Structure formats: C-alpha cells, structure tokens
Structure 1
C-alpha cells in the first residue's frame, strides 16, 4: 500500500511542477498586428532590393539554388531512352544466360520462379 502511495505522490509532484512552471515571454501573444506584418514586408523588400543591386554592380554573385543545375547541359531524352533500352536488353540477356545454366530440373524451376520484387505478377 505504501508503494502505491509513493508512486501516486511521485507522479503528482512531477506533473505539478510542470503545471506551475513559468511560461516563456513569447507565449500567448497571438498573431502579429497589421503594422508588424507591413513593416516586416518592407524590411524583406529592402533586403531583396539591396541584394539585386549588389548583383547588378558585380560586387557579389547571388544565385538561386537551381542555377548551378541549369548551367550543366542535360542529356537529351533520346539518349536517356537509348541508355535505358540498352540496360533492359543487357538484363534480359543475363536472365537468359542464367536460365541456360544447370540441370534440366533446375532450368525448369528457374523459368517458373517468380522474383520476390515482382509481386504484381
């Protein structure tokens, strides 16, 4: 019985301490007012204008994250398709070579075997 009382008392102490803790300053202030939102927009706009001016003057180069990718030439879709087709043909040849190996019984089993990753077949 004393163990139960001790457990309840310990639980009460742990939870009551968190209930009476002081709240941080920023809690409960709600949404910012219209004036704060407008001033924030102005500050951000000024920072963007300053950054654009620096780029135009050549003092510093600021790039968007995707600019580096744009400079690299992308392979045409035809080349990618050809590469994929070539890989598929090679895979088929490997599968065929595997089927030709071993005894007749083993060949039959491999021909009828379903791959675990092809669960839709």
Structure 2
C-alpha cells in the first residue's frame, strides 16, 4: 500500500509519541472500538492501540532501562531513587503489586522502594530524608 507523502509525514511525526506511551500505530481500518483514530487533512490516517494498564509498568521500566543504557539493578543508589521518583510521577505505583515489580527491577527490597518514595527530592528541606523508613 502506498502512503501519500503528507500522510507519511504525519505518521512519522506521531510515531515517537505512540512509542513513548507504549502504543501501536495501525491502519485505521484495523481500529477496534477502544482504539484512538487519528485524522489528518480530513481523513482517517491511523489508529493508535493503547497499551493495557497491566503492561504500562513494564513499558515504563523498559523505557527507563533504555534511557540508562543498562539494567536498573546496576544503577547507583541516587539513580535508583531518581527512577522511583520518575515512576511515581507517572502514576506507576497506583497499580497493584507495582512496588514489588519496581523493587525486583531495581534489585532492592520493597522496603527500600517505600523509603525512596517517602524521601523528599534531592535538595529538600532536610536533605531528602523526610518520612524515611515508614512503608504505607
């Protein structure tokens, strides 16, 4: 199937966003009821299949591994704390068993992840040790 250059430019432009959210770009005729259909120049150009919520944490962890260029378990403590803050900012810990999944990826205990969650960001009022040691 030949794609006109304008539509190709649109698809190329949205692909990084689709990749970042862990979605899949599909032809519009393959769209399901829960897919998001994108229009360009008055015509359906593509459908975006969003990831299942259960896949979201794994996608976030994979993206963080890619950004750091190595397994998260090999990061130093400061980098692991940063990863936990990034996961928290993306809402990852609203998922059931997400603390356990993150802890396994980071090579730390659940308790350590809770400690990281209870710390203020670096440069906080008390040097980043607020609420340390109290799992919810």
Question: When you count strand as a share of all residues, which structure comes out higher?
Answer: 2
Question: When you count helix as a share of all residues, which structure comes out higher?
Answer: 1
TM-score, with normalisation over the residues of structure 1? Answer: 0.22
* Bigger RCO (CA 8 Å, 6+ sep): 2
